[in-house]
Amino acid sequence: MLKSEKVGFILSSLNELYPKTPIPLVHKNIFELLIAVLLSAQCTDERVNKVTPLLFKIANTPKAMAKVSVDQIYEIIKPCGLGPQKSKAISNLSNILIKNFNREVPNTFEELEKLPGVGHKTASVVMSQGFGYPAFPVDTHIHRLAQRWGLTNGKNVIQTEKDLKRLFPKENWNKLHLQIIFYGREYCTARGCLGIKCNICTTLYPKRIKPIKTNK
């Protein structure tokens, strides 16, 4: 199967399975989304969604969050892991948003990635899901499936993002990255498929027998 045929099959399969792509992290504004995505690093969305209502009840704007002590933030978010680093980042970025951005979350990659605790993936999620800007955040699910589907060599997540952006139309990116995540959680799981069981893997590679070892 040619790569263009793979792309077409993947798009049609995922659109059929997931015609709608609700954002997994519960939020009411872009600041809440930014904080939720920051907390999701090395943590499940499910756990983040249990923690954020408690945090956002106290503060859901930069001005309000800047008034909350780092220790108080930590006590709420520690179930998400990396609590000391994340609580400091949340406090510091809130103060930066007040001082430099008129209490607003910036809408460029460059400015977002300068904020404490915000890397390229977090910025990409905020840009795509918060501002609707075409982006392709690559998490562990996407990195794994892109390798199993022969769309990238899996050298690293940066390369995977470049390869996927090159293969798929820009107008599909924001929806597609969520569709791949949903599929990776439901059908092509880390240990449940291994590139040889789910419908997309077996259709793309019907003769594949050996499990695929993916790069992390």
Query: Known catalytic residue: 139?
Result: yes
Catalytic residue among 6, 86, 121, 163: 121
> With a cut of 50, which residues of the chain have pLDDT below it?
none
Instruction: Return the amino acid letter for 160.
Output: T
Contacts of 196 (CB under 8 A, 6+ apart): 202, 205, 208, 209, 210, 211, 212
Query: Known catalytic residue: 121?
Result: yes
Catalytic residue among 88, 139, 162, 175: 139
Domains and CATH numbers, the chain: 3-20+136-204 (1.10.1670.10), 30-130 (1.10.340.30)
Q: Where are the alpha helices (DSSP H) in the chain?
A: 3-17, 30-39, 45-58, 62-66, 70-77, 83-100, 109-112, 120-125, 140-148, 157-167, 173-186, 199-204
Cα gap 37→15, rounded to integer Å: 25
Cα gap 51→127, rounded to integer Å: 23
Residue 216 has a pLDDT of: 81
Residue 171 has a pLDDT of: 97
Residue 49 has a pLDDT of: 98
Residue 1 has a pLDDT of: 86
Start-to-end Cα distance in the chain: 26
Residue 154 has a pLDDT of: 80
Residue 148 has a pLDDT of: 97
Contacts of 166 (CB under 8 A, 6+ apart): none
Contacts of 169 (CB under 8 A, 6+ apart): none
The pLDDT tens digits of the residues spanning 146-177 come to 999 999 998 899 999 999 999 999 999 999 99
